[in-house]
Structure 1
């Protein structure tokens, strides 16, 4: 492996770059993951995707034995292995001993999205595994699979180890989505006697031309309770190009596949690998009304806290967000719902870790990546109450409510943010409240914000505090940002280095869009003026 002085950092969400650059490190990443699987004596995953990035990019995410992102300690070791010549030489010497006979239950699940470059990267990944593993059946490849599905396969395999061979045969690109659809169909029957009020069960769906496209079989299964219109089938498009959750969230524009579909009331976009989701609708003036990860988080928090209060469940519930969360959402959680609230570093791994400090942790990034954590203690309690409620001849309000909470818990992805899981959970909550998307949108009014990038910057110059709301270095830049914010009421801004790309991200929030953009642009100018490479 010769990077010619280039560094390809492995961050909290893996590494991403041009596909040809990922080719330089994929074998080493595969060897490292194989070695870890030997040590852990459990399955691990290698997901080849660049998520919402352009089609010419690609990337790699390692999935740990628990089905979550690779832990921080091993991420740091892998980063050194890829980018530090001395560490690489030491690891190469260890691997040069020869191939190993894998321990029982050790295996690698390889997943890939639908980028043209993914196929060659999977080939190189297999070469890396074969250079370490003695057996050819040590790995299983899943093509065109959503990232959350591969996370779930690793989790399910390691939690049902006696049945892991039959599970491997059962898994496939649609297996997890089929499972969630079945749970949703089974759960929705409990709404038969409830008035729908303003709930609308038609979705105009954009999969960003990625692996989250819902199969015709699943659409047929759902059609009597949830009608899904596949927008990507109505016009040609390119993966993540003017479409998908990131495009809608960043530019607040309708995807290219939605231009002639003004009759739909409710739109949903996934990103290219189907771990992010946003909802949106067309305003009377033709503009886009965005319902992002913050409001998905708010909907779930309202659902869980209201039911818990009704049935008398004493639950330690916490909402976990990042500094990118809209300030109005933070006010809603603290002052309206009155739930515990934490801000953590960007990266789903940090949100998940913090969510586990409560019985129930609702964790979401504003970009639409998130899920809900239920502790084993609470899952057991809810399951026991559900079993009792289902046996009751005449169900009262409390027993009906606990059934709804149990159904929601079963639809949640237990290990990672999953767009399809979040979508069926959202639809369940909206039907529970009888809300239209507009009513959901109005639970609080978003503060305007501005998101910018500064490229051509050495991101290692920038370090932040624990929750990334302030820069530790450069101190002069933090002082500049603080002075800008202090000039006008309601202004909030921060700068942070990207976790996967060599650039700096800028966020500015204010009472008007104009002020937010002005503050964001001034910070960007300051960075380019004084910190460009």
Structure 2
């Protein structure tokens, strides 16, 4: 069996370190230009085997850069239950990626000794990739790393990121969570969705204001490929019209389309036709984010982002739990990017507790598991719902309890079916779409009814390039800036000038930029506040390149 000395020799000969600059494993794993990642991928294959042996479980490796443009690529590891890599191992990933070739042998020996990792188990590593032209060669590098330490690579080919998370969870649950194949994934979600649709009304076409037609922007990525499988299986139950569906190597992934483009620019993506009051959605390059939107009869754009999806789901879950008459600890987890109006709506109107955590899905996920039912979404459309096994068991008991009314038992059945539509392992754009469509259909709502639940505060998100992102540090779930000294005082002074305003800044986890978020009572005030805070960041945190400008129309 190969050992870590063999892995070192193979790295030196076939995958030598080519970059001098360090790279850091963040919430999204590693992301950079694809031509800089070959040796990193090899080393992540090594680390995945070590992680799998330590956990005595299957581990996943996903090759994707999500919403980034096509020259980029990236990689992230998936832990045994489909969750993101444990935070304490992110440091090891960074070490593995950055040590020189002559130190790779010693770093492998160090982690083996640190965790007393057995080196004899033949562990499986699930590998998936998105549609980027660079992904096949990078996947080969990962497999070389897996084989160098005598792991067993299981190549799932081109899949969405959420599908790979699902496969890993299925394998480690011994298929209790589902069958670890693409067909198993489609079957689980579609069967549950169709069960809900058939029980909610006799009409597939519509219910109240709901109509079963949606325009779907596939971002020229894997989400476009995989939605075709759902189109075939859903038939007339949900008519999905696909746009931005270029083939591998021909379409510009995420270019002028996709969830991040729509969310950031707050306008229709290229390719989507202007049809008043027709439901539209966009996914991102690896199909783990989704946002909804529509244009009205005056061609005004309306965005329904992750905050809207979270509040819709949380409200419906609370409604079902009340119908069942079962008390489960339900909470909504948000980040500082959540629109203030959504937080007020969920706490004041729905009376559902809200927790705020630092940006990054791993932080939301870790907080969500503290509750029996945890709903988490970032404003960018990345999120899901997690149910404790004890909550599922109580729902099953409610279905079987003959002392309960038919209405209560039927509500419990609906909720159990809804759980099977949800991909609990990670945010899943297609799963989330099916959940939203289920809820809108059940309520007899279309997008105008959904939007009417509350009015978003206008907001703006801009980026400021700086010399070193590490000069910005934050606290209080990233809502307060600690350094550089005095910057938070300047932000507070600017915020005080505007009505219903707030603003915060946070460094990117992968590049030397600072993200500035601002919201206020009017669009003009939000735009002005974002620009003014951006200028202060530029002045006080070592800005380079273009200085943020005050909008000309203000």
Same-fold status (TM-score > 0.5):
yes
* 1:429-468 Cα distance to aligned partner (Å, 9 max, x none): 1111111111001111000011011124311111111401
Shift in Å, 1:524: 1.7
Tell me the SS of whatever aligns to 1:220: helix
Match of 2:140 in 1: 123
User: What runs of 5+ residues in structure 2 fail to find an aligned partner?
Assistant: 1-15, 545-554
The answer to whether the Cα contact below 8 Å between 2:67 and 2:258 also exists between their aligned partners in 1 is yes
Tell me the SS of whatever aligns to 2:517: strand
The answer to whether the Cα contact below 8 Å between 1:178 and 1:218 also exists between their aligned partners in 2 is no
The more displaced of 219-228 and 62-71 is 219-228
* 1:129-180 Cα distance to aligned partner (Å, 9 max, x none): 22211x6xx111122200000001000100007x99x956xx24x5423431
Shift in Å, 1:532: 2.8
| Equivalence map 1:109-508=2 (5 Å) | 109-133=126-150, 138-160=152-174, 171-172=181-182, 175-193=184-202, 196-213=207-224, 214-233=226-245, 237-258=251-272, 260-262=273-275, 265-388=278-401, 396-508=406-518
Cα distance in 2, alignment partners of residues 216 and 477 from structure 1: 49
Match of 1:532 in 2: 543
The answer to whether the Cα contact below 8 Å between 2:276 and 2:299 also exists between their aligned partners in 1 is no
State yes or no: 1:60 paired with 2:75.
yes
The partner residue of 2:86 within 48, 71, 87 is 71
The more displaced of 296-305 and 225-234 is 225-234
Cα distance in 2, alignment partners of residues 508 and 167 from structure 1: 44
Tell me the SS of whatever aligns to 1:247: helix
The answer to whether the Cα contact below 8 Å between 1:16 and 1:501 also exists between their aligned partners in 2 is no
Cα distance in 2, alignment partners of residues 342 and 96 from structure 1: 37
Cα distance in 2, alignment partners of residues 379 and 348 from structure 1: 23
Name the CA shift for 1:455/1:427 in 2 (closer, same or farther; >3 Å).
Answer: same
Tell me the SS of whatever aligns to 1:297: helix
RMSD (CA atoms): 2.6
In the comparison of the two structures, how many residue pairs are matched?
Answer: 519
Tell me the SS of whatever aligns to 1:325: coil
The answer to whether the Cα contact below 8 Å between 2:188 and 2:420 also exists between their aligned partners in 1 is no
The answer to whether the Cα contact below 8 Å between 1:411 and 1:421 also exists between their aligned partners in 2 is yes
Cα distance in 2, alignment partners of residues 31 and 234 from structure 1: 34
The answer to whether the Cα contact below 8 Å between 1:8 and 1:82 also exists between their aligned partners in 2 is yes
Cα distance in 2, alignment partners of residues 356 and 216 from structure 1: 32
Cα distance in 1, alignment partners of residues 468 and 212 from structure 2: 48
Cα distance in 2, alignment partners of residues 192 and 447 from structure 1: 35
The answer to whether the Cα contact below 8 Å between 1:177 and 1:420 also exists between their aligned partners in 2 is no
Name the CA shift for 1:510/1:95 in 2 (closer, same or farther; >3 Å).
Answer: closer
The partner residue of 1:520 within 527, 530, 542 is 530
Match of 1:91 in 2: 107
The partner residue of 2:121 within 88, 93, 103 is 103
Cα distance in 2, alignment partners of residues 459 and 250 from structure 1: 21
Cα distance in 1, alignment partners of residues 476 and 95 from structure 2: 22
The answer to whether the Cα contact below 8 Å between 1:15 and 1:61 also exists between their aligned partners in 2 is yes
The answer to whether the Cα contact below 8 Å between 1:81 and 1:87 also exists between their aligned partners in 2 is no
Tell me the SS of whatever aligns to 1:58: strand
The answer to whether the Cα contact below 8 Å between 1:386 and 1:406 also exists between their aligned partners in 2 is no
* 1:477-505 Cα distance to aligned partner (Å, 9 max, x none): 11111111122231100010112333211
The answer to whether the Cα contact below 8 Å between 2:243 and 2:271 also exists between their aligned partners in 1 is yes
Name the CA shift for 1:324/1:157 in 2 (closer, same or farther; >3 Å).
Answer: same
Tell me the SS of whatever aligns to 2:374: strand
The answer to whether the Cα contact below 8 Å between 1:333 and 1:341 also exists between their aligned partners in 2 is yes
Shift in Å, 1:400: 2.6
Shift in Å, 1:75: 1.0
Name the CA shift for 1:96/1:363 in 2 (closer, same or farther; >3 Å).
Answer: closer
TM-score scaled to structure 2, two decimals?
A: 0.88
Tell me the SS of whatever aligns to 2:424: coil
Shift in Å, 1:233: 4.6
TM-score scaled to structure 1, two decimals?
A: 0.92
The answer to whether the Cα contact below 8 Å between 1:95 and 1:132 also exists between their aligned partners in 2 is no
The answer to whether the Cα contact below 8 Å between 2:186 and 2:229 also exists between their aligned partners in 1 is no
Cα distance in 1, alignment partners of residues 111 and 338 from structure 2: 43
